[in-house]
Amino acid sequence: MNLFRTKSVEQSIRDTEEPEHRLRRDLSALDLVVFGVGVIIGTGIFVLTGQVAKDKAGPAVAISFVLAAVVCGLAALCYAEFSSTVPVAGSAYTFSYATLGEFPAWIIGWDLILELALGAAVVSVGWSGYFASLLDSAGLKLPAAIANPPGEDGGTVNVPAILLVLAVTALLVVGIKISSRVNAVVVTIKVAVVLLVIVAGLFFVKGANYTPFIPEPEPNPSVEGAAAPLMQVLFGITPVSYGWLGIFAAVAIVFFAYIGFDIVATAAEEARRPQRDLPIGLIGSLVITAILYAAVSLVVVGMQNYTQLSEAAPLADAFKAVGHPAFATIISIGAVAGLTTVVLILLLGQSRVFFAMSRDGLLPGWLSAVHPRFGTPYRSTILMGTIVAVLAGFIPLAKLAELVNIGTLFAFLVVSIGVLVLRRTRPDLPRAFRTPLVPVVPVLSVLACLFVMLNLPVETWYRFLAWMVIGAVIYFLYGTRHSRLGARQALSGAAGGEGPRAPKG
C-alpha cells in the first residue's frame, strides 16, 4: 500500500477526456468572476461589519477587511497557479493528488466535503430566516414549526431551507450554463442592493463618528475551556479589543467573510479557457468583494457611532437610527438574493469535488457519471443536494458552523504548500499563471492560515480532528481497495508508484 502515490498532471488531464466523465466547457472568465462574487457576498456584508466594528476594531474595521482580503489574496495566487496548471475538477483535492499523494488528497477531499456541505446547509438555514422575515413583512407569517431551525423558537423542520436546497440542486442538474445565468441575475440584484446601501448611506455619514478611527486598546475578558481560542490555550494570550491588536484580532473574524472564492477552482473542467479564465475568476472576485466590504464598513461606522451599532442587523438598524427604516426591507431582499447564490455555488463546488473523488475510485464510481443530455455530474449533485437538504431541515447546525472555517483554512494551507512542491518536482510543466515571489507568497499564505486557525475555539479543533479520523477509516476500508491509480500501478507492475514525472501518452 503506497499512501503517497501521486497522480501525474498528465493523467489527471487525460481522465477529463473520457467520454463518460467529460464535463461541458461552458464558463467564461466573467462567469467565474460572478461565481466568486456570488459566493463571497452573503450575510457577512450585512451583519459581520457591525459586529466586528463594535467588539474588535472600531471605525478601523475597514482596515481589517482589507488585511483579510490580503490574506485570502495570498492563497488565491497559489490557487491561480495550480488551477491554470492542472485545470481539473476537485480544486484542492486534485492539486494535493498531484503533489502530496493519494492519502493526503483523500483527507483534503474529505475536508472539502465537510466544508462545502455543512456550509451550504448553514447558509440555507440563514436564508430561510430572511425569507420568513420578508413574508412576515408582506403579511404572510409562516408557522414556527416549519419556519425555524429544529429546536429553536418552536422549530421542528425547516421547510424553506429544504425547498431552497432542492430547487438549487435541480438547477445544477439541468446545466452549468443555466446555473451561471441564474447566478448572474441574482448576483446583479444583490450587488445593486449593496451599492444602493453604500450610496444612500453616504448622505447620513457624520465625520465625528470616525473619531477616534483607531480607539485605544482594551483587554477583553478571556473565554475559558473548550470555547477558548486555541491561541489563548497554548500561549495564554488574552484577547484585546481596539488598537492595532484589535484590528489584527478582527482579521481572524472578517477573514470568514471571504471564504468561498476557492470554489471557482472546482469549476476548472467547465471553463472554456481555464489557463486564462481561472486566475481572472479567483483574483477578480476577491478584488471586487474587498472593495465592497471596505466601502460598506466605512459607511456603517460613519452613519452610527461604533459603540451603538447593532450586532444582529447593523446596516438595517443604522438606517432606522437616521429615520429611514424602509431600507431594512431592501437589505433583507439583498440578503435573500445573496444567500441564494451562496447555496448554489457551495453545492456546485461540493458536487465537483465528489465527482472528482469518485472518478478516481476513492468513492463509488457510479457517482462520477455525467448526464447524457445536460453534461453535469447529476448523481453526485443529487446525492449531495439530498444530504444538505436533510442537514438544513432537521439538524441543529449552530454549533457546527465554525467547522466550515477550519476546513477552508486547512485547504488553503495545503494548496500553498502544494505550489512549492510542484515547483520543485515538476519545473517543466507549462504554467499559464505563476504565483509571484515564490517561495515568499506561499510561505506567507501558510503562516496567515495558521494564524487564523489558531484563533478558532478548541472545541472546533476537536470536531475537525474527529471528522478527519472518520475520513481516514473510510479511506483504509474502501479507498485503498478501489483506487483507479492503485489498479493502474498493479497492472503495470510499477514498484515505486506513479511519480510526478510520469510520461505523457
Q: Which residues contact 30 (CB under 8 A, 6 or more apart)?
A: none
Tell me the pLDDT tens digit for each residue of 20-54.
777 888 888 899 999 889 888 876 777 778 888 88
- CB within 8 Å of 90: residues ≥ 6 apart: 97, 109, 266, 352, 353, 355, 356, 357
Q: What is the pLDDT of residue 474?
A: 95
Does the N-terminal peptide bond of residue 439 adopt cis geometry, omega within 30 degrees of 0? yes
HSE at residue 166, side-chain half, CA atoms within 13 A, is 9
The kind and range of the H/E element at 30 are helix 29-40
CA atoms of 120 and 491, how far apart (whole Å): 40
Exposure string of 282-305, with b = 16+ CB inside 10 Å and e = fewer, is: bbbbbebbbebbbbbbbbbbbbbb
What is the tens place of the pLDDT at every residue in 113-152? 888 888 889 888 888 888 887 887 778 888 888 877 777 7
The rounded Cα 16 to chain-centroid distance in angstroms is: 24
Average pLDDT over residues 425-449: 92
Dump pLDDT digits (tens) for 286-302.
999 999 999 999 999 99
Residues 6+ apart with CB under 8 A from 459: 226, 227
> What is the SS3 assignment for 90?
coil
Which amino acid is residue 391, in one-letter code?
Answer: L
Q: Please determine, for residue 348, whether its predicted confidence score (pLDDT) is greater than 80.
A: yes
For the stretch 320-335, pLDDT in tens is 888 887 887 888 788 8
Task: Supply the pLDDT for residue 257.
Answer: 78
Amino acid (one-letter) located at 116: L
User: Kind and range of the H or E element at 240?
Assistant: strand 240-241
Q: Is the confidence at residue 494, as pLDDT, over 80? A: no
> What is the identity of the amino acid at 135?
L
Q: What average pLDDT does this structure show over 402-420?
A: 88
Number of H-type helices and E-type strands within the chain? 20, 2
Write the single-letter amino acid at 132. A
pLDDT at 223: 65
**What is the C-alpha to C-alpha distance for residues 402 and 464, in angstroms, rounded to an integer?**
10
> How is domain 27-488 classified at the CATH fold level?
Amino acid/polyamine transporter I (1.20.1740)
CA-closest candidate to residue 259, choices 403, 54, 458:
403
Q: Does the pLDDT of residue 316 top 60, yes or no?
A: yes
Give pLDDT, residue 403: 79
| Residue ranges covered by each domain of the chain | 27-488
pTM summary value: 0.85
